[in-house]
Amino acid sequence: MGDLVEQGAVALAAKIANKEISAEDLMRASLDRIEQVNGTVNAVVSLRERDACLADARAADAIAPKGPLHGLPVAIKDLANAEGLLTSLGSPIFADNIAQSDDLMVKRMKDAGAIVIGKTNTPEFGLGSHTFNPVHGITRNPYDPSRSAGGSSGGAAAALATGMTPIADGSDMMGSLRNPGAWNNVYGLRPTYGLVPLDMPGDMFLHQLAVAGPMGRSPEDVALLLDVQAGLDTRHPHSFSQAPSKEQLSGDIKGMRFGWLGDWSGAYPMEDGVLETCETAIAQFEAMGAHVDRLDAPFPAEQIWDAWVGLRAWANAGGKAALYENPKMRAMLKDDAIWEIETGMALSAMEVHRLSNIRTQWFNTLNGLFADYDALLMPSAQLWPFPAEWDSPKEIAGKSMDTYHRWMEIVIPVSLVGVPSLNIPAGFNAAGLPMGLQVFGPRHSDAKLLQIGQRWHESTDFSSQRPDLSALTG
């Protein structure tokens, strides 16, 4: 049954619905794969008992399909609540926090027939694009276990890459669906802000940076999960509905126009080989009949960074101030979380207003670009997966990183303004480490990005180059 876990989620769901395979067959194969490789990769955490998972699969086989995910095993990112499972957020503060109910996104997945088998690992509070924490440890890259799997959806991406799950949920504030997607050679979609409504205790109007979204080994698998996660929920003021993306995957990209932003006219330092790998990859778009223009930086990078650092810190302060103000809990916070909270608490209302004005100016500039281009392209990361024992890179190409997250600056032109972005596999370096491309478009272009990604998937062989499982068997 090992080959089952290499098949796509769309195909597996169809086979279960048609009784070609059983949910129990797939569950057994998935649990076997987890047993085989998770000891090395450490992607799936809080795994349920095998017998309980198999019992749920047999129960799924005994009824008519509940929905498009019927019988598929999934593990939920450990920032979201799945009833009865630990929601640690990677923090010792919440190391015993058993969820009493499902978050809305998780409930939608269960209602569509998915079987939750556990959680996927994440950095502490999802801060930083490298998955390690004092509760569950380090998640390692399946292509080289000495390297980072990225983050904060690093556990989700590594589980996908190794066949432990056929699809995965993730979330993305600062590249957390795109960076691990790139470093694990899978697809990850940061949706338009509001398309996938989030459970957000506290204020629901001011902070519009973080989203939840889908990951998969193909864009059609991503679309399958997105259509379950997405949709109007009137309790979320920014929520909306749009036509299912899976029904819009057909169509050629011939004649489409793409803008290649590269390293933002030198503003974003790049490790050797990243730009060259991506440049080689985008030539494939031209071979597919699209037109790619090389563009100069359209907006000052430092202004985008200034707005991002402040607004992100302000959001973190708003959500974590109570932890900071409790001395016992503050002692358990990692330094990066304290820095975010203190930076955000120091901002005045008028300073927040100034930063949001920068955000508005960049949004308007970006909309002007989208009048001429179907999508824009940039690398999904500025460097290759780094040693897993590092907290974060301290420099790139000789340029010092002045914060714990500066090394991921290339993702924030998207994150700051809530537009959708799809990571697509873009190739490998000489050491066999993966890289990806961000393909991003205007608000509500999620389905179009997935259509572009599906044509890419069918025209390239990057995603077929899976990790060497023999190197991961522990």
**CATH code, 318:** 3.90.1300.10
pLDDT, residue 78, reads 98
pLDDT bin (cut points 50, 70, 90) of residue 474 is low
Would 421 be classed as within a structural domain? yes
Would 9 be classed as within a structural domain? no
Would 8 be classed as within a structural domain? no
Q: Is the pLDDT of residue 450 over 80?
A: yes
Rounded-to-integer distance, Cα 158 and Cα 101, Å: 26
Would 244 be classed as within a structural domain? yes
Q: Average pLDDT over the chain, rounded to whole? A: 97
Query: What's the structural domain count of the chain?
Result: 1
Would 12 be classed as within a structural domain? no
Rounded-to-integer distance, Cα 471 and Cα 474, Å: 8
Angle at alpha carbon of residue 449, lines to 119 and 422, rounded to 5°: 40
Would 4 be classed as within a structural domain? no
Would 10 be classed as within a structural domain? no
State the DSSP H helix or E strand holding residue 30, giving kind and residue range, or none if neither. Answer: helix 23-41
Helices 23-41 and 9-17, interaxial angle, to 10°? 150
Q: Is the pLDDT of residue 47 over 60?
A: yes
Residues 273-286 have a mean pLDDT of 96
Helices 219-229 and 9-17, interaxial angle, to 10°? 70
Q: What tens digit of pLDDT does each residue of 388-435 get?
A: 999 999 999 999 999 999 999 999 999 999 999 999 999 999 999 999
Would 6 be classed as within a structural domain? no
The residue segments making up the domain with residue 148 are: 23-471
Q: Is the pLDDT of residue 2 over 70?
A: no
